[in-house]
Each structure stands twice: as structure tokens, then as C-alpha cells.
Structure 1
Amino acid sequence: MEKDERSVCLGPDGAVAHITRVLNMISGRWKLPILFRLYAEPSMRTSRLKRDMPGISQKVLTQHLRELESDGLVTRTDFGELPLRVEYALTDAGRDFMPVLIAARRFSERHVIGR
């Protein structure tokens, strides 16, 4: 393999770095369920997300939502009302990312090991 071909894969701007960045964005037990719930519904309140994902704690839900927001996949809208009303939705980048996740699901379904 030529050096130029390797740089496409390796190095700070190579494919490996970009894929690693994306995998880090979705790492966390609940990030994928959050993304798929927000894909199914245009926007959701925190309480609805928590109710739809039994087993997630409020602390972890808040942490994952903040990380997804920081990574540009989710947007948080605070309506400035009392009692507090906050809704989450996918950003354009989050919606653009969903076909990638759906393709990963299809890949998994087609390449099941041990069946």
C-alpha cells in the first residue's frame, strides 16, 4: 500500500479518525435508544423519553442528552415556562445520521453470526 493510500485511512484526518469520532458520539448504553425514539417522534420531553426507556436513570438520561446535544445530534428547546418545559429533537445532522444507523441495522440482520 502506498503512503498516500494509507493517509486516506490513517492519521488525524483519515477515515479511522472520522469513524472513531462517530462511534464515540453514539457510545453509551442509552444513546442509540434516545436517537431512535427522537427519530420516531419529532420532539419529546425528558419525562416521555424516560418513560419510553425503562431502566434509564434521570442522571444518565440527562448526561446522554447533553452529550448528544454537544455533538450536534440533538437540540434542546427550553420554553422558559414554569413548571419547566423542555423538549428534545434531532438536529439536521441527527436526521442525516439516522440512515447510517438504519444501514448498520440492516448489515447486522444480514450478517448474523451463529445462526
Structure 2
Amino acid sequence: MRETETCVPTGVNPQDTGFGYTLSLIGGKYKMIILYWLAENKVMRHNELKRSIGSISFKTLSIMLKELEADELIVRTEYPQVPPKVEYTLSERGLSLIPVLHMMCEWGEKNSLPALEAVQRKV
């Protein structure tokens, strides 16, 4: 994208752009966190994700996982055994979002209040 271009042109509803589409997939309180944990650990089970996230309810995690699977960002693999075993991994499509999450992390580290205060102390 050139500097003069914008991902949300004037007069266009942001929801009707690639920007809006991306936000619809990863928006919300937990989806990016789930993607992050799956990127870090490759394969996780429901309870492992719940423990890693901490503040999410069982029901909310289940809903988020179903939405991420429906959007083809994660792969759910169910093993036919007793008790049932289900594992989650990132799909190729989900893996393609990880650089975006890394860029957000870098931006946050550079622009967080402690980072800005450190820069101001040096000046």
C-alpha cells in the first residue's frame, strides 16, 4: 500500500473493507489471545487454553474456539477415545495472522506508557 492510499477510503464504510474484515475475525477480548497461545504452543487442548488465559469462562472459550474454527483460523482435531480428546492448532490461514499480532506487540512495546516515560527521561 502506498502512502497516499488508505485501507479505508473516504466515503466507504470501514466494515466493507479488508480492514473491517480483519477486525471481524480477530476482534473481541479473547480471539487474539487464543491465536497468540496457539502460535506459542503449536497444539493446545481446551483446558490448557483456559489455564493459559485465566480470566475466560469455559463457555466463552468454547464460543471463541467455534468462531475461530468457522473462520478457518484454527483447526479442531477430535480423537475417538474415552474420554474424548480434542486439540486445537492454527490453520495456515491463522498462521498468516501471526505477523500482524507480532507487529501489534512491537507497537505496544514502543508506545506503552513505561516506554514513553523512559524516552522522556532520556531527553
Shorter chain as denominator, the TM-score bin is 0.7 to 0.9
Unaligned runs of 5+ in 1: none
| SS at 1:9 equivalent | coil
Change in Cα spacing, 1:7 to 1:33, as seen in structure 2 (3 Å) is closer
1:48 aligns with 2:48: yes
Superposition TM-score, scaled by structure 1 size: 0.81
2:91 aligned with 1:91: yes
| Pairing 1:7-18 to 2, within 5 Å after superposition | 9=9, 11=12, 17-18=17-18
Q: Deviations over 1:34-92 (max 9, x none)?
A: 11110011111101111111121110000000111111111100112221100000001
Give yes or no for contact 1:28–1:64 (8 Å, CA) kept in 2.
no
Moved over 6 A (4+): 5-8
1:40 is aligned with what amino acid?
E
Q: Structure 1 pair 104/81, CA: closer, same or farther in 2 (3 Å)?
A: same
**Count of residue pairs the alignment pairs up:** 110
TM-score by length of 2: 0.77
Structure 1 distance, partners of 2:18, 2:80, is 37
Q: What is the aligned-residue identity percentage?
A: 33
Structure 2 unmatched runs, 5+: 118-123
